Structure formats: C-alpha cells, structure tokens
Amino acid sequence: MKKYIFILASIISFVLLPYSLVSIADEKGGEVVLVSPSGHEISGNQWLFVIGIDSYLNFPDLNTSVNDAKAVKNSFLKRYHFDKYHLIELYDEEATRRNILAKLRYLTRRVGPDDSVIIFYSGHGRLDSARREGSWIPVEGAMDDASSWISNKQIYDYLKIDANKAKHILLISDSCFSGDSFRGYREKMARATDEVIKTAYNLRSRQVIASGESKPLVEEGLSHNSIFTHFLLEVLNENKKPFLVSSELCKALKKGLEENSYQTPAFGTLNDEEGKKGGELVLFLNSEELVRLNKIKWQDRIERKYLRSSYKDLTVSQVQSMPHIEIREEQDWGFYGHSTIRHQYELRSIVYDEVVVDNTTGLMWHQNGSERFKDKDKISEWIYNLNLNGYAGYKDWRLPTVEEAASLLEPNQNFSDMYVDNVFDKKQPWIWTGDSYGDDAAWVMSACYGSIFWNKFDEYFSLRAVRSLK
C-alpha cells in the first residue's frame, strides 16, 4: 500500500512540473494529500450549494435550469476538490423561499474560517421596480409580489464577511438581473501569475460571476444547458491547471460567450472592503483528475507533434488560437505565453555546423541563427546563402512558421533571461517567421519577453532557420 501511495504521489507531482507554482501530493497517514498555492496542505472544507428551478408555480417554466445545476454539481464533484458531504442541492419544488434562505442561514452556522463556498443558482430573476434591485425567484414566487422573491441584498447579507466565516465565497448566478448584486464595484481581471494565485488564496474574498448585468436575458441554450452554463461547463471540464482562480474562470467563460453569443458575463466583488484586496476562491483539481491528466500527457509526450510548415497570412485571433500554446496574457498585437510541448532537444555538430534536433516535433533548427535584418530581401538572401552553402549538409532551410517559432517558448526564463532552452544561442532575442500579417508585416517570436507579435519590416530582428526532418 505504501509503495502504491508513493508512486501515486510521484505521478501527481510530475503532472505539475510545467507549472512554476506546483500542487504537490504527499503521503500523510496513508492518504494522498493535495497542497495549496501557499505550499501547505489544503485546510478547510469546500462547500457547494446548487439551486435549479424549471417548474414555477406562477412564472413561465424554464427548460434547462435543473440540468444546469446538476451538470455544474457533477463537474465540481468529478474533477475538483469537493465531496458529497459538503453538498447542498435544491431543485424545483424544493427551492422555496423558505428553503433557500434556510440553507444560506445553515452555511453561516456550519462554515469555518478556512472553508470555501461556491453557490450556483439557475432560474428566473426579476427586478423590483420600486427598489431597482435584482432578485432570485423561488419556485412559489408571485409574479407581482416582490416580498415573495429573494433580493440580491438578502443574499449578500448571508454571504458578507461579518455574517459568514468562510475564507472564500464565489456566487455564480445564471439569471436575469444577476449582475445587480455588485453594481457599485467592478473588478479588473489581473493575469493569474503564481504570486497572484498565492495572494488570492491567502486573502479572504466574496466574488460574483453573473450571466448578465442589470438587464433581462434572452433564454437560449446549447446541449440541454443555458448558453451561459454551457460555456461555464466547457471551462470547468477542459481546465488542466491545478489551480484555477475565479477571475481566470470568468475570463475563459467570457471568451466563449462573446465568440458565440451576444451575452457578456459580469465579474466583481461584493461590497465588502476586505473583499477588495485581491483575495479569490481557488479551485483545485483532485488527485484522480491529476493522475488522469498525467496519463494523457505521457501519451502526448511520446507522440510526434506535427506543426504547420507552410506559410499563411494570419490575424491576431488566429495566432491566439494556435495549438500547443498556453497564453498568459492576450494583447491586441498577439500574446504572452509558452509552448505546452515537451521537447526532446539534441545538440549536434554536422560538418562543424551546429544544429538542434527536436525529436518531438521532427524539426532541425539552426543553433546560432543570423544577425539582425529588417528588409525582406535581405532575409531571403540570408536563407538563400544558407542553402547555397549547404549548412550542415542540407539545402532545404527556411524561415519557421509562427507555430514552429512559438513552439520554442518555455514557461520560464533561463539563466540567459530568455524564454527558450539553453541549447540555443542567446544572441537572437527576436526572430522573424515566414507568416505574414497583411502586406507589409510579419509575425515575430520574442525570446526575451516570451511573446508572439506582428511587426512591420522596419525593425531589426534576427533569423533562426529550420528544416523538417524526413
């Protein structure tokens, strides 16, 4: 048994090696223990409260709310650090005003100071015209009686820091007027660096992800779920990060919605001063999911990665959608990010010419590269002369595509302050690619900043030639 635990712990640790901030599995008392962003064992319980209402007594019925709540519940239980002993569910006739408020009150009594709480609501929302305040509609809520609803203010009163002892609370509301609960404050989504995640985990938080702002939503759905929950589930089910903060969850959700609908989710903090200091709820992948992802990564590692070798004219969104890339920060000109490919580099000297062979992608790279050029004719001339002289015995050298160039980007800077492996010469901080951006610009890889961007041919950048192995 101990041998099995040790092997499992080793596997889980290896899964997270690509991340500079790692979640570690350790052996304590015969159990695998996940470690938090602060470097200590995860303390406290992870509570989940889901509410879904389709069959209303006085409002029109909905089609997807119960499915939404159950699908979200199943995703959290299957992939993340939640358990059925800290789960509360209310569906249809169970979701009365009395029961919803009773469960919120129950959480104020049972939740501890190290606990985290996620509340998911899917159902009707309504705006109280007298108070201009959004509300949840319980199953028996009357059409014209706001006192039978549950106002956002009432919900907030049960969640605020001086009422609920939880360290983190994230409210996810898929209803009309769901953004009203934090109308007075909107939070900028910072890039989730290691330090941001660590700080977010250590500070208390009260946050909201809402399907819409202070206005009604048109009901539409995909695959038996609302369009909001469909893309929420897509993010939750496809996430491969051991630590996922709520702002990153909303950012990915927003991207899916904006590309496929006219709906824009809102993200913010409930009006607690302490909750505005940078704290965020952190989702942890569970040990079973980490082991599963590890198996996929091992399989992925031994398979050859075929990258596009023919040139294209590419937009920013096309470049941001390249395979095998993890983006840290999107920009109007490209992105900061790194490759997810596990390279198998091999430095070779062929006829006194230095090359780097990548056995994972099947590419041979010029190890040193060129001086800097800004003229397309000079770039073409350098490649021509490389082939004319038969560098390393080959005459099929070319500029890399942006996919090939981006594959060189590493997650962290090495000792030369470059985001490429030390096997390459450090004198080429920027390299041109053969992919264009319009008529007078091309895509460039920056090894010194870990980025991909387009640039006109008015800057001096280097070349690093590549060829495909047969």
Q: What is the DSSP string of 188-222?
A: ------HHHHHHHHHS-EEEEEESSSSS-----EE
Assess contact for 130 and 183: CB atoms under 8 A.
no
Low-confidence ranges of the chain (pLDDT < 50): 1-32, 183-187, 214-218, 275
For residue 363, the model assigns a pLDDT of 95
Rounded to an integer, what distance in angstroms lies between the CA atom of residue 314 and that of residue 138?
49
For residue 190, the model assigns a pLDDT of 59
Rounded to an integer, what distance in angstroms lies between the CA atom of residue 316 and that of residue 335?
9
Which residues neighbour 255 within 8 Å (Cβ) at sequence distance 6 or greater?
Answer: none
Question: Which amino acid is present at 348?
Answer: R
Question: What is the DSSP-derived secondary structure letter of residue 98?
Answer: H
Among candidate residues 40, 38, 103, the one with its CA nearest the CA of residue 279: 38
For residue 453, the model assigns a pLDDT of 97
| 342-377 pLDDT tens trace | 888 999 998 889 999 998 999 999 998 888 888 888
| 89-101 pLDDT tens trace | 999 999 999 999 9
For residue 10, the model assigns a pLDDT of 42
Give the CA count within 13 Å in the CB-facing half-sphere of 437: 21
- CA angle, corner 12, sides to 10 and 17, nearest 5? 90
Q: What is the DSSP string of 384-416?
A: HHHHHTTGGG-S--BPPPHHHHHTT--SS--TT
User: What order do you get walking across the sheet with 46-52 strand by strand?
Assistant: 87-91, 46-52, 116-122, 168-174, 205-210, 266-269
Rounded to an integer, what distance in angstroms lies between the CA atom of residue 205 and that of residue 190?
15
Among candidate residues 300, 303, 293, the one with its CA nearest the CA of residue 238: 293
Burial of 69 from C-beta contacts in 10 A (0-12 / 13-18 / 19+): buried
For residue 417, the model assigns a pLDDT of 84
For residue 224, the model assigns a pLDDT of 83
Rounded to an integer, what distance in angstroms lies between the CA atom of residue 91 and that of residue 253?
24
Burial of 321 from C-beta contacts in 10 A (0-12 / 13-18 / 19+): exposed
With both helix axes pointing from N to C terminus, report the angle between 227-238 and 65-79 in degrees, rounded to the nearest 10.
10
Q: In the structure encoding, which two tokens stand for residue 83, read together?
A: 């358990």
Assess contact for 437 and 402: CB atoms under 8 A.
no
**Which domains occur in the chain, in start order?**
2-284 (3.40.50.1460), 316-468 (no CATH)
Rounded to an integer, what distance in angstroms lies between the CA atom of residue 370 and that of residue 386?
10
For residue 192, the model assigns a pLDDT of 64
For residue 108, the model assigns a pLDDT of 95
For residue 415, the model assigns a pLDDT of 65
Phi, psi angles (nearest 5°) of residue 281: -70, 140
Q: Where are the alpha helices (DSSP H) in 111-207?
A: 152-159, 194-202
Among candidate residues 125, 129, 124, 116, the one with its CA nearest the CA of residue 165: 116
